Every structure is written in C-alpha cells, then in structure tokens.
Amino acid sequence: MAKQISDLKLGILGGGQLGRMMIQEAINYNLTTLVLDPDTDAPCKHLANYFQCGSITDFDTVYNFGKKADIITIEIEKVNIEALEQLEKEGKQVFPQSRVIRLIQDKGVQKQFFKENNIPTAPFQLVNTKEDMLNSRFDFPYILKQRKDGYDGKGVMRINEVADIDQAFDAPCLIEELVDFEKEIAIIVARNPKGDMKTFPMVEMEFNAEANLVEFLISPSTYPEELQNRAEVIAKNIASSLNITGLLAVEMFVTKNGDLLVNELAPRPHNSGHQTIEGNRVSQFAQHLRAIFNLPLGDTSTINHAVMINLLGEKNHNGVAKYQGLEKIMAIEGVYVHLYGKKYTKPFRKMGHITVVDQNRDGAIQKANYIKNTLKVIS
C-alpha cells in the first residue's frame, strides 16, 4: 500500500486561525502536523504535533522546517518562496505550488495574469512612484493598492484628489479604477492534482466600512443561477489556468450592470469559507486536505442558510480578551462559536467568528444582527 494520509506529516506555514481550523480537521485523519509561526502565542501552538516559533519569510527557517514535512501548505501568502522552490526541487510536495504563491503574492502580477487569461477584472495600472501616480491616465477617485503584503484591509486606500497622493504607500503599487459595485461575492474552488475541481456555492460579503473587513458573510447567495454559474466558471477557469493544487478563494465584484469583476485571489482556506464548517456538507478545511492529499473532493452543497459574523476586537479595547454576551448568543438555536485562541484583543483584531444557520435566510440574518449587537470582545 502506498503512503496514506495518516502516515504523512503536514507542514503548515503560519499558525493563525486558518491553520488552527485546518488542524481541527486534520485530527480526523491522524495527520501529524508541523507549524511554523513567528508568534510564540500563535493560535496553533498547542494543537500542532510540532510547533516551531520562527520566521516564515526567512529562507533558512522555512527550508529547514519544510525538510521535516512530507507535504507543505500555507495559511498566509507572505512566506519565503525561494525556500519553497528549493523544497519542491528536492521532491517535497508544496501545495499550493510555490509559483502560484509567487504570482498571488504580488497583486500587480495577479492583475496581469487576469489580463493575459481574459479573466474579467477592473482596469488597472502599475505604478512605482508618486510621479507615476501624478501622470496616471486614471481619473480621481481611484483605488491604490500596495502590490505586496496587504491583508485584512491594510495596503488599500482610496485616492480622491491630488492631495491624497502625498499619503500614498511608499512601495510598488497598482491603481485600480473604482468599481461601482453592488456587492462583493466570493467563490472557493478546490482542485486536486488529478485536476478534479469542485466549487463551494457562491457567498455574499457585507463589509464593515470602518475596518474595511468582512463583517457578515451570507451563504448561499440569492443572485440568479445564471450569474452564479458565470462566477463558478470564472473561478474554475482561474484554478485551471493556475494549475493549482488546493483551495483557491476568488473574490469578485458584482457591478450594478450585473457584470463580474475579479478582485483578489487567495490560494488557501479563506475568511469567506468559514461558514462551510456548519453550513455545507464538507468544510473548506476538509476540502483543502482532500485536495492536497489527492483524495476525492467532497460534496460542497449547502445544508442550510448560514451567516458568518467576524468577531472583531472592539474599538478602544487593548488587553486580555473577554467575550461579553457569549452565554446570551449561545441560547439561540443554530449558533456556533469559534474563538481563535488569541489571548490579547486590539481594535478590529479577528478574535473569532460565529456561524448561525437557519432554514430561512432572513431568520439567519436577523440572528446575525442580534449577535453583532450582543457579543463584544472587550478587555
């Protein structure tokens, strides 16, 4: 018998909540998990079979860590690619592949990839200096994105007028036409090395404008089937063009004309898939493991309407986290709590999420609003 999942060591770069939920699922397969994270108190620390505190961007650290694993995956894109390339050369399986991470790490390269592969996306221009911005063909207002290292709303700003350019990021960026969108949606697609692909049903995202973070996520979407099918085709096209192994989260805008424009990619489990744990037959974490271990992909269909609420640290609270209102929300049927094991809260820090399922979309949204107003992470 060939080596099977329960014999293999899974190395995960990054030990945050995504790694934590991946390990929760990996337990079902006796997987041996190894985690590398720079934070001595990372959410995965006590759950990994082997936890190493160290830099995920340093060549030697990543390379030496990877040598101990059979399969290496990520829970964050900002990792040392050269080390992953070297590990691949030496026969380690790295999923998603290093070249996919490299492409996605750089939002400029991502946009060029969309253009080359006829993936619909907002018009853009790469800029290196404030000079480039002043000479841009784009009219104000437009969106400025740092090409690298942006996450959770960081590295994105709106430029309304010439004066704003002074505050612009001091790094390679891209300018993007401001999309007059109706909604942001996401589709997660899984692809295994055999080339099998399955998408999770499309979800709708509602943003917290102040934090620029997803606040609610509603599954499944109520957009017409025709639009959902188009979104699925786009997601699958990207996954097969990338030839990716693993999960790919595809965030898109639905414009007021009903067009779809791809916003960003994430080659890993993603915030827009947390509701799959209780809302779908198979969770994104289970599907990611199936994909990277070349197993048959699971049934992604929804069981229920689900709303996911990101549990963010309250403004003006810094310190040891307290979860006010937890007992109240647990009295509601269909409420599932996921705390991420972070000891300290700070404003807008992702401390956990709550999923509420209901047979009725409006019922789920109503409960989610109550939860949002009742459950607070304070210090």
Cα–Cα distance list, 114 to 81, 170, 214 (Å)? 21, 25, 24
Min dist. Cβ of residue 144 to its own copies (A): 37
157 contacts 168 by C-beta, under 8 angstroms: yes
Min dist. Cβ of residue 348 to its own copies (A): 19
Cα–Cα distance list, 198 to 214, 265, 271 (Å)? 24, 16, 18
Taking the alpha carbons at both ends of the chain, their separation in whole angstroms is 53
Min dist. Cβ of residue 141 to its own copies (A): 41
278 has binding-site annotation:
no
Selected range binding its own copies among 140-148, 206-214, 251-259, 326-334, rule: CB under 8 A: 326-334
- Pick the binder of its own copies from 172, 334, 347, 363 (CB under 8 A): 334
Q: Number of residues interacting with its own copies: please give it, by CB under 8 A.
A: 38
CA atoms within 13 A on the CB side of 308: 27
* Sites for its own copies among residues 3-42 (CB under 8 A): 4-6, 20, 24, 27-30
Q: Pairing mode, if any, of strands 173-177 and 32-37?
A: unpaired
Selected range binding its own copies among 34-42, 60-68, 257-265, 298-306, rule: CB under 8 A: 298-306
- Pick the binder of its own copies from 13, 36, 47, 87 (CB under 8 A): 47
Contact between 295 and its own copies by CB under 8 A: the answer reads yes
Selected range binding its own copies among 43-51, 101-109, 116-124, 202-210, rule: CB under 8 A: 43-51
Cα–Cα distance list, 79 to 14, 44, 75, 166, 192 (Å)? 9, 17, 10, 30, 22
CA atoms within 13 A on the CB side of 348: 13
User: Residue 59 is encoded by which pair of tokens?
Assistant: 């060549």
Cβ-based nearer residue to its own copies, 20 or 107: 20
Closest among 133, 185, 187 to 159, alpha carbons compared: 133
Site string for its own copies, 301-320 (x = CB under 8 A): --x-----------------
Q: Is the dihedral of CA 179, 220, 286, 298 positive or negative?
A: negative
| Binding positions for its own copies, rule: CB under 8 A | 1, 4-6, 20, 24, 27-30, 46-49, 281, 290, 295-296, 298-299, 303, 321-324, 326-327, 330-331, 333-334, 336-341, 357
Which residues carry a binding-site annotation? Answer: 107, 145, 176-179, 184, 263-264
